Structure 1
Amino acid sequence: MKVVLLAESFLPHMNGVTHSLLQALRHLERRGHDALVIAPRSGPIDHTLYGARSVLLPSVPLPSYPDVRVTLAGAHRLAEVMHAHGAEVVHLASPFVLGWRGVLAAESLGIPSVAVYQTDIPSYAERYGVPGAAPALTRHLGRLHRRATLTLAPSSSAVERLESLGVDRLRLWRRGVDTERFAPDRRDEGRRREWAPNGEILVGYVGRLAPEKQVEDLRAIATLPGVRLIVIGDGPSRLQLERVLPEARFTGFLGGDELARAMASLDVFVHPGESETFCQTVQEAMASGVPVVATGRGGPLDLVQNSVNGWLYRPGDLDDLRDRVRDLTGDDAKRRAFGERARQSVAGRGWDRLGDELIGHYESVMGHATVTATDAEAPPSPVQDQGPVASAPPAPAPRRWSRYVAVGDSLTEGLCDTSRAPAGEYRGWADRLAMLLAVTSRDAPVGYANLAVRSRKVRDAIDVQLPEAAALGADLVSVLIGANDLVGRRVDPERLALDLGAAVSRLRSTGCDVLLVTPFLPRRPVTRFYRQRFRTYNARLRELAAATGSMLLDVEADPELIDLERWAEDRVHLNAAGHRGIAYAAARVLGVRHASVLGELEHAVHDQEEDLGLTAVGDAEWLVRHAVPWLRRRLAGRAAGDGRTPKRAQLVPVIVPTADREPRKTQLVTVQGTVTRE
């Protein structure tokens, strides 16, 4: 594959954009792809480009921030360079000025573009004293990303930000972290004695010293008793910060192993910036076993879990910042426990995995079907956390399951999926997944139970369904639950996920594999009130997957799975197309052989107009059929699942069609005729 990567900022200036780009170049070289970098020329480059060639364009420094340069090349010049390279896909790293011209150049050549959102330029403008420019910059940002073939966002807050700008071709692509370089064993006692000769607790910040990072807020903790503030980094604000923070030790820029030793030598890491789309240094601190205190806005929301691996403080509340830091500096045992959990929370976020995901995104916009290791029947990679493919980590090793139990609510029960099912019965994604497991199994028959009941909540899964699954001797359990809790009046998403996590851990201790599925909502205006709850809950599920060695289907990472045409006429459940999509996405996560191919075949034989027709119903009819009955139940204190029992309370073999059946009469029956093909 021939890839052209455009970067607004590049070597010799090392920042988050440059670091991510270098990691992408390294991975492209490892996978045998041909890369070319187009970037502003701003000085000599003494860093390897991992086999990539570069075209460095004339540029001018940005006023008040000379480390950022603006290239003067136009779209025509960029198109010439892309054409000469034979580019098949264009990667736009944190695009804005050069990136806009890059989008236009790619369009002129008919080349797909992948824009990686990494910098909130409008927020930066406000920090640099030009707030009047923010509206125009915001409009430009939205226009650029709407123009790109695909945009990759690093966090749920970044996804929300881009959605508010009308960007709809979005995928979640997080950032990797080098867990070998950033590790607790890098702790340097000699450095600690140098920085804290009297045994002070070391609280540190690592990053660029610039207005958007709000490093001056660290004055709230600089005078805490027994604390020494360490500021690692450089930038245009350094002189001013040295005056504001006279008690702090400023180290200047550190990189590579030197930075890793410095990071691991801290006791607490603090990041006050509110404009972070991801915040890579938070990940690096966690990998180093250092607990984090960060502002409760932007990228850190997906990384820091309150009272587990650190604290999130209220944005702008410096008293809260001081209290959170004091909580950790004053309790050695808590600090150590948080640090251990911080390290665990980033397990499996290596750059190799993220690099493969990036290549998969390239292939998707090029119109190629991505052949993953599991599709090719190679051993899947180890369980890892938080990677946004249509899903997350595949199974830890190729294996077959013979006792599959589905746990959840109405979505897992299969409501509204009446495709080729007897009247009054539902099929659902879990039934479809059970059939896929059976069809592709080479060993013993697959038994399947479905304990899901409509309207059920997380507490029912913890107290009833998961224990019943264990009692059935399940060797695979899928868990999709939480939406009914999250749309309630009062709910603590973090507590909810922690409680579920404890139950999943108990089940995993029996040797059972677990597939966690993130709950989701239709993308309708009315659901915006609940989106943050779902994002918080799902962020914890990702951490839970890593901590328990579970597998994860991250529906949020593949918005196409829940496009509006995949919802039934009641507007809160999936139609047949939606259930099919979830089933095959789950199969890919489990490493089911040829899941992608099987999915395409089934998609081809179904009447898509039939699926879409089930979604199309007028507002008046919807009110009569669905909204009014729901309201009556609520007023009466009842739920749709009251008095109902699971449709499949016991393990029953999944019946697979045999070759001697006539094609048109072949029936695929999971149990009781609920999954049929006529």
Structure 2
Amino acid sequence: MRVAIVTESFLPHMNGVTGSVLQILRHLERHGHDAHVIAPAANGMPQDMHGAPIEAIPSLALPGYRNVRVGTSPASRLAVSLRRFRPDVVHLASPFALGWRGALAAERLEVASVAAYQTDVAAYTERYRVAATTGIAQTHIARLHRRATLTLAPSSDSARQLEHLGVDRIRRWGRGVDAERFQPARRDESLRARWGGEVVIGYVGRLAPEKQVEDLVALRSLPGARLVIVGDGPSRARLQAMLPDAVFLGHLDGDALATAVASFDVFVHPGESETFGQTLQEAHASGVPVVATGRGGPLDLVRMGIDGWLYRPGDLDDLRMRVADLAGDARKRRAFGEAGHDAVQERSWDSVCGRLLEHFDEARTLKRVDTSLRARRSIRPETPLPVVPARWQRYIALGDSLTEGLCDPAPDGALRGWADRLALLLASRGGLHYANLAIRSKRVADVCGPQLDRALQLRPDLVSVLIGANDLVKHRVDIPALAAELERAIVRLRATGATVVLVTPFLPGRRAAAIYTARFAAFATALGGIAARTGSVLIDTDLHPALREREHWGEDLVHLSSSGHRFLAYRAGEILGVPHAEALGALDASLHEQIDIGTGLWWSRHALPWVWRRLHGRAAGDGRVAKHDDYVYLGRSTAQRGVPARRG
């Protein structure tokens, strides 16, 4: 099997994600499989590991973590790399930024992808007091894992989190433990003597807000106890001031880490955002009882009253009581430690990685099924296909400038956007009454207000909605509120019996647009939920990354060009079952060329006028009316036809 691994973290930065990837590579090499790793570039990164080449992707340092890198390459770069390697499956290790692009690249190449949920990024944003981004992080996680062929959750709690976000195809896959390295025999009495104290209470992990190490203040002045902290991070100086009697050892790894853990009497873990808790397994393997918060991964790893205690999340008095119980009872510590050691002996990395290969095989099978379904239905498998009439008779397009057709002029100067072109495709099946209510600069409130009211008066049987971009680029945006408002409008349209086509807003493939990527991802995920709940057709533009390419964008770099409008129209035609839409699109594209303009003209024609309007509180659509506020007939005759009576 050929396995490509796209990881958010790799050497020289050692953490749980990197450790898992190294174990997977070791297992793949041992069993004769080929591997290729794509990871954020960092100083000191090896060129190969366990027989697998390591491809370094351009990266930026994560604020607050100088040694942690975030990959910045687009999905197209990853697609080129994957195409060259020809993988059977793409493993996404703790995907978020680079992993999202890896998921898109795998989708583009029709390769199965397996996403291992390893880091609760949403919880981290909340812990870092950037709650405004927590919802965006959650929706991005949901969207990413729904894109993957299969998702691996490390614990029952994380599986429930993902299910709550609407992710399906979840399988449990934990982490192995190196029982040869982490074992009771490594206990070092001389080391314990240097630390001091009768009972050693230890913590291992990053020293950062999301780990809640400051909660260990509750253990100060515990009689006869010495607190030993292993790890480093941005919170170290503050924690040393808060815990002046604790021993801070800094970052340890390898045998030094194993010796330190085995020399603890009690292992304590206060973090509430752990999807698994690898250090808890290593403590158990070392014969050390564990006290951990009763949330997340520890729920599956700590057996109350058998190998440790779980305390009530946030209850520091309960934390102190649980630790004091073990600190004061050597016999209980030994019994708990032995039980924990016995429990992890069957969780070797060899058996865990063997199960991972089984998940890879399942993902490949599921991908073949998905591809077959898409070929038959011309629609993404997880998007419910509504009951489609043999032929629509009344089509209305709602939206903003993209649907109005800016930057797509006809020979007579009139605008003809993607919806106009889609209407012509639909009319080829026998004529169509068509109205386009879209007006430039409009927002969700406009579609859900005047445009919706007019659409309901015209009683369509097909409605397309592409809206949200103008809301998402505002200084502040409430994405859940936008989605709720739009869903109410879609429910009203669906109640009339109309088929509704929801199109996710999209951005050009420009670096300047990247600041809005998370917002657009969150809104697109919300649209996916709306489509599923209302039985609407979803056109997920992320499934068509070519739409972001320069040739599909107009000279203002904000609106689609004629090429882009044609591209979107034919993709919509495919999904709606227009015969030979893909072939027609290829023929149409071969007859056109994209015309570009220089930077100077772009500033004078587009950028400066937009800035002037913003400074004066104006919008390009002020005072404009829809170009087709009532039905026009498209068919063999261009004469206006009467609107047919609606079928009961």
Q: Tell me the TM-score normalised to structure 1 length.
A: 0.53
Shift of 1:72: 1.5
1:157 aligned partner: 157
| Cα distance per residue 1:269-306 (max 9 Å; x no partner) | 00000000000000000000000000000000001111
Shift of 1:311: 0.3
2:558 aligned partner: none
SS class of match (2:340):
helix
1:478 aligned partner: none
Shift of 1:48: 6.8
Residue 222 of structure 1, aligned match among 220, 223, 240: 220
Residue 324 of structure 1, aligned match among 322, 325, 334: 322
Superposition pairs for residues 17-416 of structure 1, below 5 Å? 17-45=17-45, 49-196=49-196, 199-367=197-365
Check the 8 A contact 1:293/1:311 in 2, yes or no: yes
The separation in 2 between residues aligned to 1:333 and 1:47, in whole angstroms, is 49
The separation in 2 between residues aligned to 1:117 and 1:74, in whole angstroms, is 21
The separation in 2 between residues aligned to 1:55 and 1:296, in whole angstroms, is 39
**Matched AA of 1:23:** Q
Pair 48,310 (structure 1): closer, same or farther in 2 beyond 3 Å = farther
**Matched AA of 2:122:** P
5+ residue gaps, structure 1, are: 370-678
Pair 47,314 (structure 1): closer, same or farther in 2 beyond 3 Å = farther
Superposition pairs for residues 389-468 of structure 1, below 5 Å? none
Check the 8 A contact 1:311/1:324 in 2, yes or no: yes
**Matched AA of 1:211:** P
SS class of match (1:283):
helix
SS class of match (2:157):
helix
The separation in 1 between residues aligned to 2:190 and 2:46, in whole angstroms, is 30
Shift of 1:368: 9.2
1:650 aligned partner: none
**Matched AA of 2:300:** D
**Matched AA of 1:87:** P
Check the 8 A contact 1:3/1:88 in 2, yes or no: yes
Shift of 1:265: 0.3
Shift of 1:186: 0.7
The separation in 2 between residues aligned to 1:317 and 1:368, in whole angstroms, is 44
Pair 239,351 (structure 1): closer, same or farther in 2 beyond 3 Å = same
SS class of match (2:365):
coil
The separation in 2 between residues aligned to 1:25 and 1:368, in whole angstroms, is 24
**Matched AA of 2:256:** E
The separation in 1 between residues aligned to 2:268 and 2:177, in whole angstroms, is 18
The separation in 2 between residues aligned to 1:87 and 1:345, in whole angstroms, is 36
Pair 142,14 (structure 1): closer, same or farther in 2 beyond 3 Å = same
SS class of match (1:115):
strand
**Matched AA of 1:230:** V
| Cα distance per residue 1:145-203 (max 9 Å; x no partner) | 0110000000000100000011111100011001111110110111111112xx52000
Q: Tell me the TM-score normalised to structure 2 length.
A: 0.56
Shift of 1:69: 2.1
Shift of 1:61: 1.3
| Cα distance per residue 1:387-413 (max 9 Å; x no partner) | xxxxxxxxxxxxxxxxxxxxxxxxxxx
Pair 137,77 (structure 1): closer, same or farther in 2 beyond 3 Å = same
Pair 313,47 (structure 1): closer, same or farther in 2 beyond 3 Å = farther
Pair 274,346 (structure 1): closer, same or farther in 2 beyond 3 Å = same
CA RMSD of aligned residues (A): 1.4
Check the 8 A contact 2:47/2:55 in 1, yes or no: no
Check the 8 A contact 1:11/1:43 in 2, yes or no: no
SS class of match (1:366):
helix
The separation in 1 between residues aligned to 2:319 and 2:216, in whole angstroms, is 9
Shift of 1:235: 1.2
The separation in 1 between residues aligned to 2:102 and 2:44, in whole angstroms, is 24
Shift of 1:325: 0.3
SS class of match (1:286):
helix
**Matched AA of 1:110:** E
Shift of 1:356: 0.6
Q: Share of identical aligned residues, percent?
A: 60
The separation in 2 between residues aligned to 1:89 and 1:283, in whole angstroms, is 29
5+ residue gaps, structure 2, are: 368-648
Check the 8 A contact 2:46/2:54 in 1, yes or no: no
Check the 8 A contact 2:149/2:366 in 1, yes or no: no
| Cα distance per residue 1:60-111 (max 9 Å; x no partner) | 1122333332211111110000011111110000001111111110011110
The separation in 1 between residues aligned to 2:183 and 2:366, in whole angstroms, is 38
1:448 aligned partner: none
1:648 aligned partner: none
The separation in 2 between residues aligned to 1:114 and 1:145, in whole angstroms, is 9
**Matched AA of 2:276:** F
The separation in 2 between residues aligned to 1:99 and 1:74, in whole angstroms, is 11
| Cα distance per residue 1:225-263 (max 9 Å; x no partner) | 100000001111111111111110000111011111110
1:511 aligned partner: none
The separation in 2 between residues aligned to 1:310 and 1:9, in whole angstroms, is 31
Check the 8 A contact 1:283/1:346 in 2, yes or no: yes
The separation in 2 between residues aligned to 1:368 and 1:359, in whole angstroms, is 14
The separation in 1 between residues aligned to 2:321 and 2:67, in whole angstroms, is 35
Pair 275,87 (structure 1): closer, same or farther in 2 beyond 3 Å = same
The separation in 2 between residues aligned to 1:114 and 1:130, in whole angstroms, is 29
The separation in 2 between residues aligned to 1:50 and 1:189, in whole angstroms, is 36
**Matched AA of 1:192:** R
Say which one has the larger Rg.
2
Q: How many residues align structurally?
A: 367
The separation in 2 between residues aligned to 1:59 and 1:289, in whole angstroms, is 40
The separation in 1 between residues aligned to 2:47 and 2:228, in whole angstroms, is 27
SS class of match (1:367):
helix
The separation in 2 between residues aligned to 1:43 and 1:219, in whole angstroms, is 36
The separation in 2 between residues aligned to 1:308 and 1:271, in whole angstroms, is 17
The separation in 1 between residues aligned to 2:346 and 2:313, in whole angstroms, is 29
SS class of match (2:49):
coil
Pair 321,118 (structure 1): closer, same or farther in 2 beyond 3 Å = same
Superposition pairs for residues 485-564 of structure 1, below 5 Å? none
Check the 8 A contact 1:7/1:95 in 2, yes or no: yes
Check the 8 A contact 1:276/1:299 in 2, yes or no: yes
Shift of 1:364: 1.3
The separation in 2 between residues aligned to 1:173 and 1:212, in whole angstroms, is 23
Shift of 1:45: 2.8
The separation in 2 between residues aligned to 1:47 and 1:194, in whole angstroms, is 40
Shift of 1:329: 0.4
Check the 8 A contact 2:48/2:54 in 1, yes or no: no
Shift of 1:126: 1.2
